Amino acid sequence: MQDFQGFVDIRDRFQSQVSTVSSELLRHGRSESYHPSLPPQAIVYPQSTQDVADLVALAKQHKIPLVGRGAGTSLEGQTAAPFGGISVDFSQMNKIIDIDLANMCVTVQPGVTREELNRELRHTGTFFPVDPGANASLGGMAATRASGTTTVGYGTMRDNVMGLEAIMATGERITTGSKAKKSSAGYDLTALLVGSEGTLGLITELTLRLHPQPDAILAGIVGFSAFSNAVTAVMDTIQSGLSMARLEFLDASSVRAFNAYAGESMPEMPHLLFEIHGSENGVHETMQMFSQICQDLGGTEFRASSKTEDRNALWKLRHNGYYAILASRPGARAVVTDVCVPISELAEVVQKTQADIEQSPLSAPILGHVGDGNFHAILLIDPDSEQELEAAQHLSDQMVERALAVGGTCTGEHGIGFGKTKFMEQEHGPAWQIMGSLKRALDPHNILNPGKLVPEPVFNAPTGSVPPVLPDQ
């Protein structure tokens, strides 16, 4: 059992920044996923880097687990507290510290959300492109190496985090990277922390790459009679060097759900949604070439527009996809899969997945980031049906097995948490043990997000959850 005195010390230090309200604990033990809540014993709301440093020092002294949390939009249990301890909620560290247009970067606290940042940037001529759909916090997006609809054009968080400040498990404050555009000065600690899901350090500040707002934007949609043709169009587009800012697909059953949810009347066939950024001439030239590629593969007539309201409507449709699909089965919850495969394998993998879904008792529309080879099946289940959850998990496992068999990955953008640790050995082989060695080296007492991502037990993990020791505030 964890040190009672530790929690007392933490309450003494953090006072009103601590909460042990049961409903809040329950909410902090889960995020936007089907995984059950594993609540922490207390929540601390740091307001500064010094707060985080003090918290880590106390946690280290008393061997109390610390589980970082941004906006709580993760999907694989990253915010759960299987060994109890403290949920470190970064929502009050939400300042934009510095917008540096000369160097095209911005420094923010981890609790700033991507929508807040882009609102603030609106009048600067720049924007931050990474867009996972949810209004996630930038710290959380870095911690899970988030990506989303714009990755085909602008990369993932891996490509857009220039530097970090973090408090490591040892309690030390480190800074990584810089505003220089590149460096070969030693190990890439920025890249090591991005995607580490709070298991190596707690991110307290991020410097992010900004991009110029394009002069012209053109968005549109095109249907295909067969999904394989849509994928071939995407491969031809990428090989031609056409610069696409977004390139998404919906299968026929997603389109059906969209139509029902938003009162649309798109033909129920596979569709590509796209967006092109550039100069006025550039986007039209790119669109013509892309249109030609699609026509050659039997694509329907293009619906494309450069009007802001049309574009917003299109991407709102896409971003509401999850809710549209949820609404197609009232009362259902969703298990969202997230494999990513080499694009050469995508058509076959999606087709086999659709066949598997047809064999199953579930309905499961598919959509995703076709330009990256990343797709999501939204497996709709009755939350009270053990049998449906099992069927969903079986389907999800099948998809991962198939992705790994063709050289893909078990997660394109949702991360590992505890939901996908079971695939890590198969995906990485001995490299997973290397990850365990890194974890042991940097967090010898396993206080940072124990039970996630790395092999367990890598060393003496905390011995299990204990009930909250502090009175409700």
Half-sphere exposure of 237 (CA within 13 A, CB side): 35
Best CA proximity match to 89, nearest among 205, 202, 6, 170: 202
HEC secondary structure over 72-94: CCCCCCCCCCCCCCEEEEHHHCC
Measured from the CB atom, the residue of 122 and 181 that comes closer to a second copy is 181
Q: Compute the least distance from the CB of residue 55 to a second copy, in Å.
A: 18
Q: Please give the sequence-ordered ranges of beta strands (E in DSSP) within 119-230, or none if there are none.
A: 126-127, 161-168, 173-177, 201-209, 211-212, 216-223
Which strand (E) or helix (H) includes residue 315?
helix 308-319
| Residue 437 in contact with a second copy, rule: CB under 8 A | yes
Of 1, 212, 296, 463, which one interacts with a second copy (CB under 8 A)?
Answer: 212
Helices 227-239 and 343-359 pack at an angle, to 10 degrees, of 160
**Contact of 17 with 47, CB cutoff 8 Å:** yes
Q: Please give the sequence-ordered ranges of beta strands (E in DSSP) within 348-451, or none if there are none.
A: 366-369, 374-381
| Residue 81 in contact with a second copy, rule: CB under 8 A | no
Residue 40: asked if its preceding bond is cis (omega within 30°), the reply is no
| Residue 183 in contact with a second copy, rule: CB under 8 A | yes
Q: Compute the least distance from the CB of residue 68 to a second copy, in Å.
A: 16
| Residue 216 in contact with a second copy, rule: CB under 8 A | no
Q: Compute the least distance from the CB of residue 222 to a second copy, in Å.
A: 21
| Residue 149 in contact with a second copy, rule: CB under 8 A | no
Supply angle C-alpha 252, 154, 408, rounded to 5: 60
Q: Compute the least distance from the CB of residue 214 to a second copy, in Å.
A: 6
- Ramachandran area for residue 206 (φ above 0: left; ψ -120 to 50: alpha; else beta): beta
| Residue 218 in contact with a second copy, rule: CB under 8 A | no
| Residue 145 in contact with a second copy, rule: CB under 8 A | yes
Residue type for 344, please? S
| Residue 57 in contact with a second copy, rule: CB under 8 A | no
Q: Compute the least distance from the CB of residue 435 to a second copy, in Å.
A: 5
Q: Compute the least distance from the CB of residue 338 to a second copy, in Å.
A: 8
Half-sphere exposure of 461 (CA within 13 A, CB side): 20
Query: What are φ and ψ of residue 393, in 5° steps?
Result: -65, -35
Distance separating alpha carbons of residues 405 and 389, to the nearest angstrom? 24
To which residue do tokens 């800074």 refer? 175
Q: Compute the least distance from the CB of residue 181 to a second copy, in Å.
A: 4
Of 106, 194, 366, 448, which one interacts with a second copy (CB under 8 A)?
Answer: 194
| Residue 343 in contact with a second copy, rule: CB under 8 A | yes
> How many C-beta neighbours within 10 Å does residue 433 have?
15
Measured from the CB atom, the residue of 286 and 465 that comes closer to a second copy is 286
| Residue 263 in contact with a second copy, rule: CB under 8 A | no
| Residue 73 in contact with a second copy, rule: CB under 8 A | no
**Contact of 342 with 406, CB cutoff 8 Å:** yes
Contact positions with a second copy (CB under 8 A) in 442-471: 442, 453-454
Contact positions with a second copy (CB under 8 A) in 281-340: 281-282, 285, 289, 340
Segment interacting with a second copy, rule: CB under 8 A, options 258-266, 296-304, 360-368, 369-377 = 369-377
Segment interacting with a second copy, rule: CB under 8 A, options 90-98, 186-194, 252-260, 357-365 = 186-194
Measured from the CB atom, the residue of 27 and 284 that comes closer to a second copy is 284
Contact positions with a second copy (CB under 8 A) in 391-420: 403, 407-416, 420
Of 348, 356, 427, 456, which one interacts with a second copy (CB under 8 A)?
Answer: 427
Segment interacting with a second copy, rule: CB under 8 A, options 41-49, 184-192, 325-333, 375-383 = 184-192
Q: Compute the least distance from the CB of residue 185 to a second copy, in Å.
A: 5
Distance separating alpha carbons of residues 206 and 138, to the nearest angstrom? 8
Contact positions with a second copy (CB under 8 A) in 371-390: 371-374
Tokens for 251?
């299968």
Q: Compute the least distance from the CB of residue 443 to a second copy, in Å.
A: 10
Contact positions with a second copy (CB under 8 A) in 103-132: 103-104, 125-126
Of 123, 187, 263, 265, which one interacts with a second copy (CB under 8 A)?
Answer: 187
**Contact of 357 with 396, CB cutoff 8 Å:** no
**Contact of 76 with 178, CB cutoff 8 Å:** no
Residue type for 181, please? K
Q: How far is CA 437 from CA 21, 314, 433, 441, in A?
A: 37, 45, 6, 6
| Residue 68 in contact with a second copy, rule: CB under 8 A | no
Contact positions with a second copy (CB under 8 A) in 231-260: 235, 238-241
